């Protein structure tokens, strides 16, 4: 923008905002004349002015925050990051700075030998001189590289180059569990997912007789992309006392670190087990304790043991029974039992192995998933949140009968227990749109869908709607609704390909539309997307097979983003531009060659596809 133009805009803008409504519009129109570009810029700026005013945009916030910050010396010092982008460190090329902490600096780097991206922790000189801490890093590298498990952060290398000591690990784009806990209360499904993965990591470590000994939320990372959990920092880990027949002379650092002078404890002691607090012998069951404490914190939002000073905390760890979870959070009784067992004061009363605890958590999760499915399929209205307590109680008996019919005898017992477990939790939590919590593996796309069918007679709904997992022959007076959900975040596109009547197939954009999901293709994990949101989909007069193309991708798909604009009511989503229609056709053709695996349940269909992209066509036959 030229300075003259800028001055012109600001002159009209300033005069205009002192006028009201009609007068203002007329003034702007008058001033801008035929220059529609100018007019549009002024109008946008006026709109921004209104929004900025009502939102109190930059209204005094920074000034208030600045002064207190001055008190803290460290905040004024910019992070002392000594390496710059593009700089070479041995075979590593620095891509970006990730942060600086007590230990040193962390960079995103590319390993040019092996062509992989790594997190490069460059240790500060001070640390590099400290033999004990160096031992910790060597230990971490040694232990973690011997444990090849997807939930354990992979350590590639611990070494030295050009006088700098570094640790190269797998790069995880995500947040620590600590960050998660700070931001929000976790959902029960997430808590179970995280707990299960942490225990899977510990199970693998324990199998190798390695005890982590420093489990805490700071050492659990959750990858943004797919919520895969990574356990970090095996720096304090050691071979289990059970196995290393009483080699007590090698006084472990974890034990001594916490026994230094009061007030000098650097790390957190809230996750310390009673035996660690006492300085007693430590084995795998210490990790189970710490995991139990983390799970308690995830459910309750507060720590089970936390005193005003570290000595108070230690006394609590040794002696106090924490407040029952059922009083603090919305934990089902079964989860409360699992957590309580994990934090039994005596190691002998705890879960004896990570595997046992893992099995209990997994079966709890399965039961809840099952219960969710029953609940959803027994009545389509359960997708709508806020079931009142009385209603649920009244309907319980009826749904149990339904469960018997639907699921079959083999799992009836489990289902009924599931209902009890789940209901007692749900009644208290007062519901929410619930999504099926399907398990998924890393490097895989998972999408679940179901179809709700409503019969119509004389243009009026006839009989209750029912839910099916997919294909059937639809009668003319059937109207449908599609629901989608995934345990993963991703971009969802749904296109309708009508019965082929001519040479070139026609595509209609069904999702996203200007009304559905506010025009965005991005759906959150566990979000239930229903199409259409309010009404039902009707088949048109043209009989045959309608194909509904589902594309679910980790990243936005440019080919499909570019046709979103057609999803307006005028064209019914029809991609009117032949060239772009062709682009869509080619995209679907190319990518539908990799077929997803299809798992059909009683009421749901789950699609799984390797890689970042899932493409599948649902065929809807109607007569």
Partner 1 sequence: MPRQHDITQLLAEWRDGNQSALDELYPLVYDELHRLARRYMSRERKGHTLQTTALINEAYVRLVDQKNVRWANRSHFFAISAQIMRRILIDHARRHAYAKRGGGAQQVSLEDVATVLPDQSGELLRLDEALKSLAEMDPRRSQVVELRYFGGLNNEEIAGVLNISENTVTRDWNMARAWLYQQLTGSGAN
Residues labelled catalytic = 214
Q: In the range 94-113, which residues lie near partner 1 by CB under 8 A?
A: 97-103, 106, 108
Residues 6 or more apart whose CB falls under 8 angstroms from that of 605 comprise: 448, 449, 450, 469, 470, 598, 599
Q: Assess 62 for contact with partner 1 (CB under 8 A).
A: yes
Q: Assess 142 for contact with partner 1 (CB under 8 A).
A: no
Q: Are 361 and 307 in contact (CB under 8 A)?
A: no
In the list 26, 29, 35, 47, the residue contacting partner 1 (rule: CB under 8 A) is 47
Q: Assess 179 for contact with partner 1 (CB under 8 A).
A: yes
Kindly indicate which of the ranges 176-184, 192-200, 445-453, 491-499 contains the residues binding partner 1, using the contact rule CB under 8 A: 176-184
Q: Assess 232 for contact with partner 1 (CB under 8 A).
A: yes
Q: Are 486 and 498 in contact (CB under 8 A)?
A: no
CB-side neighbour CA atoms (13 Å) of 271: 25
Q: Assess 397 for contact with partner 1 (CB under 8 A).
A: no
- Give the DSSP H/E element, type plus range, for residue 610: strand 605-610
CB-side neighbour CA atoms (13 Å) of 185: 11
In the list 21, 22, 34, 66, the residue contacting partner 1 (rule: CB under 8 A) is 66
Burial group, residue 623, by CB count within 10 angstroms (0-12, 13-18, 19+): exposed
Q: In the range 117-136, which residues lie near partner 1 by CB under 8 A?
A: 118-121
Tokens of 256: 């001594």
What mask of x and - would describe binding to partner 1 in positions 153 to 172, judged by CB under 8 A? x-x-----------x-xxxx
- Residue 274's nearest CA partner among 292, 262, 296, 260 is 292
CB of 40 to partner 1, least distance (A): 6
Closer Cβ to partner 1, 220 or 492, answer by number: 220
Kindly indicate which of the ranges 39-47, 87-95, 126-134, 434-442 contains the residues binding partner 1, using the contact rule CB under 8 A: 39-47
In the list 75, 319, 391, 533, the residue contacting partner 1 (rule: CB under 8 A) is 75
- Cβ density class 432-449: b for 16+ within 10 Å, e for less: eebbbbbebeeebbbbbb
Kindly indicate which of the ranges 67-75, 238-246, 375-383, 437-445 contains the residues binding partner 1, using the contact rule CB under 8 A: 67-75
Q: Assess 205 for contact with partner 1 (CB under 8 A).
A: no
CB of 486 to partner 1, least distance (A): 23
How long is the chain? 623
CB of 145 to partner 1, least distance (A): 13
Residue 492 burial (CB count, 10 A): 25
Tokens of 74: 């460290």
Closer Cβ to partner 1, 73 or 390, answer by number: 73
Kindly indicate which of the ranges 26-34, 71-79, 291-299, 534-542 contains the residues binding partner 1, using the contact rule CB under 8 A: 71-79
Q: Assess 306 for contact with partner 1 (CB under 8 A).
A: no
Closer Cβ to partner 1, 69 or 579, answer by number: 69
Place of tokens 């070479």: 88
Looking at the DSSP bridge assignments, the partners of residue 161 are 164
Q: What is the DSSP letter of 116?
A: E
Burial group, residue 499, by CB count within 10 angstroms (0-12, 13-18, 19+): middle
CB of 568 to partner 1, least distance (A): 21
The secondary structure of 366-420, three-state, reads HHHHHHHHHHHHHCHHHHCCCCCHHHHHHHHHHHHHHHHHHHCHHHHHHHHHHHH
Kindly indicate which of the ranges 115-123, 206-214, 414-422, 594-602 contains the residues binding partner 1, using the contact rule CB under 8 A: 115-123
Closer Cβ to partner 1, 45 or 344, answer by number: 45
Q: Assess 245 for contact with partner 1 (CB under 8 A).
A: no
Backbone angles phi, psi at 68, to 5 degrees: -60, -30
Closer Cβ to partner 1, 13 or 587, answer by number: 13
Q: Assess 369 for contact with partner 1 (CB under 8 A).
A: no
Place of tokens 């507060």: 302
Integer Cα distance of 258 and 240 in angstroms: 19
Q: Assess 263 for contact with partner 1 (CB under 8 A).
A: no
Kindly list the residues in this chain that would bind partner 1 in the complex (CB under 8 A). Answer: 1, 3, 6, 10, 13-14, 17, 37, 40-41, 44-49, 51-52, 57-58, 60-73, 75-79, 97-103, 106, 108, 118-121, 140, 153, 155, 167, 169-176, 179, 182, 218, 221, 232-233
């Amino acid at each position: 923008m030229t300075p003259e133009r800028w001055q012109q805009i600001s002159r009209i803008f300033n005069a205009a905002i002192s006028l009201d409504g009609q007068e203002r519009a007329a003034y702007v129109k008058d001033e801008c004349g035929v220059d529609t570009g100018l007019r549009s810029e002024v109008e946008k700026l006026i709109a921004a002015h209104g929004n900025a005013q009502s939102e109190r945009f930059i209204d005094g916030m920074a000034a208030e925050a600045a002064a207190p910050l001055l008190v803290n010396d460290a905040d004024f010092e910019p992070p002392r990051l000594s390496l710059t982008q593009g700089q070479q460190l041995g075979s590593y090329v620095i891509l970006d700075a990730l942060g600086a902490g007590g230990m040193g600096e962390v960079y995103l780097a590319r390993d040019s030998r092996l062509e992989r991206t790594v997190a490069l922790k460059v240790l500060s000189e001070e640390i590099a001189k400290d033999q004990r801490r160096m031992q910790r890093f060597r230990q971490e590298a040694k232990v973690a590289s011997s444990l090849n498990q997807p939930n354990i952060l992979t350590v590639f290398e611990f070494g030295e180059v050009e006088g700098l000591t570094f640790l190269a690990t797998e790069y995880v784009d995500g947040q620590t569990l600590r960050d998660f806990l700070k931001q929000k209360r976790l959902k029960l499904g997430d808590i179970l997912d995280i707990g299960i993965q942490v225990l899977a990591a510990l199970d693998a470590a324990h199998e190798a007789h390695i005890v982590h000994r420093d489990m805490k939320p700071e050492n659990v990372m959750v990858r943004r992309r797919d919520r895969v959990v990574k356990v970090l920092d095996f720096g304090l880990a050691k071979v289990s006392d059970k196995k290393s027949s009483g080699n007590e002379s090698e006084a472990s650092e974890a034990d001594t670190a916490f026994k230094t002078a009061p007030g000098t404890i650097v790390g957190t002691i809230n996750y310390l087990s009673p035996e660690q607090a006492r300085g007693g012998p430590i084995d795998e069951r210490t990790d189970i304790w710490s995991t139990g404490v983390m799970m308690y914190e995830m459910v309750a939002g507060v720590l089970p043991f936390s005193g005003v000073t570290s000595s108070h905390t230690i006394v609590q760890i040794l002696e106090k029974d924490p407040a029952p979870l059922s009083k603090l959070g919305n934990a089902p009784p079964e989860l409360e039992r699992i957590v309580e067992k994990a934090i039994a004061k005596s190691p002998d009363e705890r879960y004896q192995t990570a595997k046992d605890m893992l099995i209990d958590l997994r079966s709890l999760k399965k039961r809840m998933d099952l219960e969710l499915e029953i609940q959803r399929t027994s009545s389509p209205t359960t997708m709508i949140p806020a079931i009142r307590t009385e209603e649920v109680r009244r309907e319980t008996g009826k749904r149990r009968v339904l469960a018997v019919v639907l699921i079959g005898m083999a799992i009836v017992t489990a289902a009924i227990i599931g209902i009890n477990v789940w209901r007692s939790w749900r009644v208290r939590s007062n519901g929410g749109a619930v999504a099926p919590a399907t398990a998924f593996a890393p490097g895989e796309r998972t999408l679940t869908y179901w179809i709700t069918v409503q019969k119509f007679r004389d243009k009026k709904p006839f009989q209750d709607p029912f839910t099916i997992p997919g294909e059937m022959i639809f009668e003319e007076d059937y109207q449908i609704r599609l629901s989608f959900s995934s345990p993963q975040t991703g971009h969802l596109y749904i296109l309708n390909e009508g019965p082929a009547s001519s040479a070139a197939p026609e595509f209609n954009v069904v999702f996203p539309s200007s009304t559905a999901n506010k025009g965005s293709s991005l759906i959150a994990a566990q979000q239930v997307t229903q199409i259409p949101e309010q009404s039902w989909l009707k088949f048109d007069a043209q009989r045959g097979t309608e194909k509904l193309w589902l594309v679910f991708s980790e990243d936005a798909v440019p080919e499909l983003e570019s046709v979103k604009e057609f999803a307006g009511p005028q064209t019914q989503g029809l991609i009117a531009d032949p060239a772009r229609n062709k682009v869509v056709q080619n995209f679907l053709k190319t990518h539908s060659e990799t077929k997803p695996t299809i798992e059909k349940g009683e009421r749901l269909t789950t699609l799984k596809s390797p890689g970042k992209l899932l493409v599948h066509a649902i065929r809807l036959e109607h007569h």
